[in-house]
Structure 1
Amino acid sequence: MNVAARVDPVTAWQQALAAAIPDLHRHCRDPWMLIGSAAARLAGAEVAVADLDVLTSVRDADTLIGHWQARRDETWVPPSAERFRSRFARFLFPGLPVEVMGGLELCGERGWKPVRIGEVVTVDVAGLAVPIPAVVEQIRVLESFGRPKDLQRVALLKQLSRERP
């Protein structure tokens, strides 16, 4: 009987955090933060985390690309590339991939605009300081992205905000 191994998603994303976060603190000279599903999860929303999305400066993205070159996934093409642009690279880490987006921009009705985060909070994960956007910022940014998965996260984050004012 062939039984596929089950991977606990919490363990997987925590494993990726443990492997990547120390290097982010060590090598990034500008502010950086997790966004997307990992940030929503760290804020308390019950979402599946498929990868770690790291928002950095272009300079720090270039540094990380050099430092993590051996981990780089050259075959990955990000979905929705027509709506997003950045100094992008995907890296294969234990647990989950890590995607670095340096200088992320979103194409909207008025053309390309930088994705800016106002309020940032720091979450402690097993002794690691992990910066994420405040819930209100996550909601604003995810609404601007407008993809179905982003809007599902918005609903969960809004519910979380009502439960924990």
Structure 2
Amino acid sequence: MNASVHVDTAAALREVLAAAIPDLHRLCRDPWTLIGSAAARLAGAEVAVADLDVLTSVRDAETLAGHWRAQRDDAYVPRGEERFRSCFARFRFRGLPVEVMGGLELCGERGWEPVRVDRIVTLDAEGLAVPVPAVAEQIRVLESFGRPKDLQRAALLKRLSEERQ
């Protein structure tokens, strides 16, 4: 059984946001955004959050790797290397791990292409300004990833979007 199943998702997410978001605002020189389960959760989808996925530029990923060097989890190897590539690093934080993906690319029908988020919205999370893709953008990105967990999150976001209309 996955240990993250027993984690209080809301409390763990609050904890990691409080620890990581101020550094992201202070250290990143280029636009950045959360993606994945944390972004979906902050948008209102009832999903479990196992980590905080941060999409950054390569330059900012390298800056964060230097700043968070002591927290780096070098033993962790991400899955999906055949489909995803980036300047990647995983860091140990209270609450949840933080995964930084600088210059994330996805291998699809046309080869390697950058993962782009065209519309970012800023949400308030416990007084912190947290950039996440707009719901339609989250759905598009998750569907492009094509993994079962991403498709499930996209479906939940679609349902949520329909309920709000």
> Aligning the two structures, in what range does the TM-score lie when normalised by the shorter sequence?
over 0.9
Taking the TM superposition and a 5 Å limit, the aligned residue runs for 1:20-59 are 20-59=20-59
Taking the TM superposition and a 5 Å limit, the aligned residue runs for 1:6-155 are 7-155=7-155
Superposition deviation, residue 81 in structure 1 = 1.4
Q: Distance in 2 between matches of 1:14 and 1:110?
A: 38
Q: Distance in 2 between matches of 1:71 and 1:153?
A: 28
Superposition deviation, residue 8 in structure 1 = 1.3
Computed over aligned residues only, the root mean square deviation of the Cα atoms, in angstroms, reads 0.7
Q: Distance in 2 between matches of 1:46 and 1:23?
A: 27
How many residues matched? 160
SS in 2 for 1:129: strand
Q: Which runs of 5+ in 2 are unaligned?
A: 1-5
What is the identity percentage for the equivalent residue pairs of Structure 1 and Structure 2? 77
Q: Aligned letter for 2:139?
A: I
TM-score (structure 1 length as normaliser) = 0.96
Q: Which runs of 5+ in 1 are unaligned?
A: 1-5
Q: Distance in 2 between matches of 1:60 and 1:89?
A: 12
Deviations 1:49-105 (A, max 9, x none): 000000000000000000000000000000111100000000000000000000000
Superposition deviation, residue 14 in structure 1 = 1.0
Q: Distance in 1 between matches of 2:75 and 2:155?
A: 32
Q: Aligned letter for 1:9?
A: T
Q: Aligned letter for 1:111?
A: G
Q: Aligned letter for 1:134?
A: A
Q: What is aligned with 1:3?
A: none
SS in 2 for 1:29: coil
SS in 2 for 1:155: helix
Superposition deviation, residue 7 in structure 1 = 3.4
SS in 2 for 1:34: strand
TM-score (structure 2 length as normaliser) = 0.96
